[in-house]
Structure 1
Amino acid sequence: MHKRGMRDWVVPSIVAFAVLLKVCIGVGSYSGEATPPMYGDYEAQRHWMELTQHLPFRQWYTYDLQYWGLDYPPLTAYHSWLCGFIGSLIDPSWFALDTSRGIETPSSKLFMRMTVLVSDLLIYIPALILFTRTFLPSPTRSSRSRSFALLTLLLQPALILVDNGHFQFNSIMLGFTILALCAFARDKDELGAVAFVAALGFKQMSLYYAPAIGSYLVAKCLWLPAPANVRLFTRLALVTGASFGILFLPFFLPPLASSPLDILNPISRIFPFSRGLFEDKVANWWCASNVVIKWRRIAGDGEAGRRWLVRASAGLTALGFLPAVVGLVKAGWGLRVREPSVKKADRDIHEPKPLEVSSTPTTDPPPFISLLTYALLSSSASFFLFSFQVHEKTILLPLLPLTLLMSAATPESAPWKWGCLVNNVAVFSMWPLLRRDGLAVPYVALTVLWDRVVGYNPFGVRAGVGVVEVLGLVVHLAAIGLHLLELVIPAPARYPDLFPVLNVLICTPVFGLAWLWSLKCGVEVGWALGGYSSSSSSSPSIRDSKSESQQQHSGFEPIEEVATGSGAQWGEDTARRRNVGGPDSGVGDGVW
């Protein structure tokens, strides 16, 4: 299309293809189809639309909790109300209180599938387009590379299988998070804070990102000179508090609420500490180690044992994201502007520009914004591996920052390799869930399609094979072997969960190594930026000691990869691998 002068149609065509693919997945089965009495996640989402249509605010989080009680934050409830309102105008029987439970008519299923697609078109897809234009701006990156990054992100198999197959609305939460990143990159911190509150208000799983987002904003306040730092901190506090207040307003403001204490109803439902450490088999530390260490037996039964497990998981989770949080705050302090009287043009001589944006903001984002994506990955991976009550679908949260890094990275670079491997392993880790949902064919088809599009072949023999390649080969062979084993041998009666446990043992080491890799990259980038030095950011000696490639680091690739060459030869190799043109394509120039 680029060669034929149809450049303006590339992005609409990519979006149209992605939507068509999601429609095809939506034709298939979903969570709980034809499985009474509780059905599954599809029925849960439909039921929330039903109860928000017919009940006052104060009963949304208390009505018949045994049948899919609402347990997501208020923005999900408002979204359910809007979808239910529109659906009731079309056919009130779809959301009739109590009597519509388990409804599976073709028209109601079509409407439910469309709610996910329209939500994607309104929030998630525009957020991805904005991301490519913000973090891959012209002229440093070509429109071809931006289009390919968008294609990589839109065809991510795990999210399509969960949202458009299994049936959920994770793309809304992820879309708000991406909008927050873009706002931070454009130096619109208050707008970014509102977007992230929206993500938190839609799904509490966004808390996986909160340590990284919070430490970045703290680092930004430390970086700015007085009194600008105090003003920013005050504005952020007011905007964040007001945003949360608006979200929860109907649950403590009479007459919408019977009393201000009604606000405790959604809060108690959002945080499920009354449940166990884990339910289904999930590829995280607790499930994997439970094969040898019986945690529930060690903790003991009853409330005391549950509290011990909650504290242990909280402690391990905090230790897991602590290096990323400390790195961001330390970078903000180490790079702080100590001489506000210095002109911006003079300061730019000695300060690197780790991230370029397509607009022209009033001030540039701070240099340590290049640490934010790695911190998001470290924080979310830590929560997935170590926190309390993790579900298999929450792997989508670490996948977001990793796939963002991958989409902007050079082929065969570390972020690209880890992005390909972890995306494939993430889909495999959800196989027990997808199998129950009847999504075996989409599971295989989407994985193969995405690997083909991005050019990933874990079985390819090539020179310069490293640790990630060897790990990928072993893991993919193990995954295929497990699938073949499931086909020919039933699980023994004594060990009915044998195959899910083997799945966990294959996937958990990959997720753990990806978490460690993100911590390593964060240290490298922070060191290269000079944020870990005790000297002032205005000191020429620090900047002069950095190589030019390090100063041009984009924040989407570890520093050792940036120095491994760019230019025509790299562009030629990339073009051949991606089939996008020759050395004049511009894919490999700019920050690389």
Structure 2
Amino acid sequence: MHQENMKAWVVPSLVLASIWVKWAVGLGSYSGQGTPPMFGDYEAQRHWMELTIHLPTRQWYTYDLQYWGLDYPPLTAYVSWLCGIVGSWVDPLWFALDDSRGIETSGSKVFMRATVLFFDTLVYVPALVMFARVWQGTRSSRTQNLALALLLLQPALILIDFGHFQYNSVMLGFTLFAMNFFATGHDLFGAVCFVLSLGFKQMALYYAPAIGTYLLAKCVYLGPSAGSKLFIRLAIITILSFLALFLPFLPPFAPLSAILDPITRIFPFNRGLFEDKVANFWCATNVVLKWKLWAPQGALIKLSTALTAFGFFPAVATLLFSGYKLRVQPATGDEKSTSFLPKQTPILPLLPYALLTSSLSFFLFSFQVHEKTILVPLLPMTLLLSGSSPEEVTFELGMLMNNVAVFSMWPLLKRDDLGVQYIALLVLWNRLLGYNPFRTSRRSYIRLLSLVVYTAAFVLHLAELLISPPTRLPDIFPVLNVLISTPVFVLVWLWSIKRAIEVSWALGGLGSRSKVTQKPVSNSSTATKLHRFPVEGGADGKAHGSTSDIGLPRASGMRTMSLGFAQGRRRTIPRSGSVDIN
């Protein structure tokens, strides 16, 4: 299409192709199909539509909790209400209170699948398109479109949302919109989008340490005056956004105690450390330590909290310290009237790594994690993957993590009878990216590790196909899956910490003191010079493009994501003394 002068059709064609693939996956089975009395996640989502349109708001989080009681934040409930209203216009029997439980008519299934596709296209797809244009704006349109194709066809999310049946793309889309707005300097819009992500699904909390620390570090970077203004505005907009989401459960619409109903359902500490076999620290070490037998639940909650905080602390510390080291020097004297502050901060390239560190920390160490939750850390890793080249470690690790993430969910996908979709999407995605881990043209430690992991996964699949598990060890195959997958996720977590430190060092946030000074604007041509951060690095390990006007060094081999409009265009420095810190 690029060669035939049809560039305008590339993005719509990619989106339509991804919609076709998602709908094709949705033609298969789903969670709990034909398995009464509880069925599965499909029935849970349908039941929430049923109860929200028939019951007053006060009863949404208290009605018949033994049968798929609502346990997601209010925005999910509002979306369920909207879907239930529309579905009832088509056929009221689909959502008849209590009488519709377990309904599996062809019409209701088409409607339910269509709701996932609608909200995915409404929220997640535009966020991906904006990401490709904003964060990778310095790259060619062909490269941006290839990155978009990679993101649109990520197999793990498609298998869970359009196969298993969930709405994870809405939560991920709002978080991605927040990142995009941060990259363009619209921090208040970004804060609102992240509140919407939290309001849709509580797993967005996995990103909260990174998002909150980034905004705090930006306030530190801007200095006492502008930073304080931004902090106050962020606090106000965040509080108002949460109040708007929970308004039906607050006075004057409900007694203050009503707020406890959604809160206690959203955070289910009474469920135990873990349920199914998940590729995280607790399940992997439980093979030897048997945590539930020797430690009470209260102690496990405290230990889990401590390990999770320990896991994301490096990301928090790196962001804050970099913001402090690179902070803007206050203007003095006559410079105050002509000073400027950039909307973007040099610590922005740290954000994807901080999101990866934080979310993986929660996945590996937090309480009551589900196998599907790997989608949360998979988002920042796939975003980093989309900005890398096949010669880089980021590409190798990104492909390994994506493939292993899908493999780690195989026990769930197997129960849902999604084996064909599992194989087809993995082959399609890897083929699209030209990835073949068994090529011998280039040797590296990551490539050798990938060969070992993929071989072990293949052998496990083959054994599961040919051998019945022994009676004494009925869960032997899921446990082996955990033992293969967990070390990969731990490796990526450690790598994300290492890369964040390297990027911070390259930006000047670690080491010698490096500050931005507010400079007076002159009428010379240099007044229009862009305040730029480091841009793309080549596969040869050398830096290409310009470094910042503030003298940020470019580390050998460092490749951060370009910041698009924040980096890729020349901007005129404002002549007024006012600072836009939106």
1:359 alignment partner in structure 2: none
Map Cα deviations across residues 476-523 of structure 1 (whole Å, 9 max, x no partner): 000000000011100000000000000000000000000000000000
Whether the 8 Å contact between 2:125 and 2:152 is mirrored in structure 1 is yes
Residue of structure 2 aligned with 1:499, choices 448, 453, 477: 477
2:563 alignment partner in structure 1: none
Q: 1:398 is matched by which residue type in structure 2?
A: P
Residue of structure 1 aligned with 2:370, choices 385, 391, 399: 391
Say which SS state the counterpart of residue 388 (structure 1) adopts. Answer: coil
Distance 2:218 2:513 in 1: 17
User: How does 1:531-570 map onto structure 2 within 5 Å?
Assistant: 531-533=509-511, 535-538=513-516, 553-554=534-535, 563-564=541-542
Distance 1:538 1:566 in 2: 22
Distance 1:167 1:506 in 2: 26
1:198 alignment partner in structure 2: 196
Whether the 8 Å contact between 2:391 and 2:539 is mirrored in structure 1 is no
1:562 positional shift: 7.7
Map Cα deviations across residues 533-580 of structure 1 (whole Å, 9 max, x no partner): 36241489xxxxxxxxxx8644xx8x896834769xxxxxxxxxxxxx
Q: 2:177 is matched by which residue type in structure 1?
A: L
Residue of structure 2 aligned with 1:487, choices 447, 450, 465: 465
Supply the RMSD in Å over aligned alpha carbons.
2.0
2:522 alignment partner in structure 1: none
Map Cα deviations across residues 390-446 of structure 1 (whole Å, 9 max, x no partner): 000000011000000110112221211111110000000000000000000000000
Say which SS state the counterpart of residue 34 (structure 2) adopts. Answer: coil
Distance 1:3 1:470 in 2: 38
| 2:267 is equivalent to residue 271 of structure 1 | yes
1:587 alignment partner in structure 2: none
Aligned residue-pair number: 532
User: How does 1:128-527 map onto structure 2 within 5 Å?
Assistant: 128-137=128-137, 140-254=138-252, 256-257=253-254, 259-299=255-295, 305-340=296-331, 363-463=342-442, 465-527=443-505
Distance 1:263 1:76 in 2: 16
Does the C-alpha gap of structure 1 residues 221 and 474 become closer, same or farther in structure 2, counting only changes over 3 Å?
same
1:113 alignment partner in structure 2: 113
Does the C-alpha gap of structure 1 residues 336 and 84 become closer, same or farther in structure 2, counting only changes over 3 Å?
same
Distance 2:310 2:149 in 1: 35
Distance 2:201 2:117 in 1: 18
1:48 alignment partner in structure 2: 48
Residue range with higher mean Cα deviation, 454-463 or 172-181: 454-463
> TM-score, structure 1 length as denominator?
0.87
Distance 2:346 2:181 in 1: 15
Whether the 8 Å contact between 2:330 and 2:517 is mirrored in structure 1 is no
Whether the 8 Å contact between 1:553 and 1:562 is mirrored in structure 2 is no
1:364 positional shift: 3.5
2:555 alignment partner in structure 1: none
Sequence identity percentage = 60
1:212 positional shift: 0.2
Distance 1:177 1:561 in 2: 29
Does the C-alpha gap of structure 1 residues 562 and 404 become closer, same or farther in structure 2, counting only changes over 3 Å?
farther
Q: 1:109 is matched by which residue type in structure 2?
A: K
Distance 1:566 1:455 in 2: 25
Q: 2:257 is matched by which residue type in structure 1?
A: L
Distance 2:49 2:364 in 1: 32
Map Cα deviations across residues 78-134 of structure 1 (whole Å, 9 max, x no partner): 000001011011111000000000000000000000000000111000000000110
Map Cα deviations across residues 56-77 of structure 1 (whole Å, 9 max, x no partner): 0100000000000000000000
Does the C-alpha gap of structure 1 residues 347 and 381 become closer, same or farther in structure 2, counting only changes over 3 Å?
farther
Map Cα deviations across residues 267-302 of structure 1 (whole Å, 9 max, x no partner): 000001011100000000000000011111120xxx
Q: 1:494 is matched by which residue type in structure 2?
A: R
Residue range with higher mean Cα deviation, 333-342 or 51-60: 333-342
Does the C-alpha gap of structure 1 residues 295 and 561 become closer, same or farther in structure 2, counting only changes over 3 Å?
farther
Where in structure 2 are there 5+ consecutive unaligned residues? 519-531, 546-567, 570-582
Whether the 8 Å contact between 1:414 and 1:561 is mirrored in structure 2 is no
Distance 1:379 1:560 in 2: 28
Whether the 8 Å contact between 1:225 and 1:340 is mirrored in structure 2 is no
Say which SS state the counterpart of residue 20 (structure 1) adopts. Answer: helix
1:547 alignment partner in structure 2: none
1:455 positional shift: 1.4
Distance 1:444 1:231 in 2: 52
Q: 1:407 is matched by which residue type in structure 2?
A: S
Distance 2:40 2:257 in 1: 31
Say which SS state the counterpart of residue 224 (structure 2) adopts. Answer: coil
Whether the 8 Å contact between 1:337 and 1:536 is mirrored in structure 2 is no
Where in structure 1 are there 5+ consecutive unaligned residues? 300-304, 349-361, 541-550, 568-589
Does the C-alpha gap of structure 1 residues 421 and 347 become closer, same or farther in structure 2, counting only changes over 3 Å?
farther
Distance 1:483 1:179 in 2: 38
Q: 2:153 is matched by which residue type in structure 1?
A: L
Distance 2:316 2:35 in 1: 44
| 2:91 is equivalent to residue 63 of structure 1 | no
Distance 2:216 2:516 in 1: 20
Whether the 8 Å contact between 1:367 and 1:529 is mirrored in structure 2 is yes
Distance 1:72 1:41 in 2: 12
Map Cα deviations across residues 235-255 of structure 1 (whole Å, 9 max, x no partner): 00000000000000101234x
Does the C-alpha gap of structure 1 residues 249 and 292 become closer, same or farther in structure 2, counting only changes over 3 Å?
same
Whether the 8 Å contact between 1:130 and 1:182 is mirrored in structure 2 is yes
Distance 2:335 2:310 in 1: 40
Whether the 8 Å contact between 1:347 and 1:538 is mirrored in structure 2 is no
2:576 alignment partner in structure 1: none
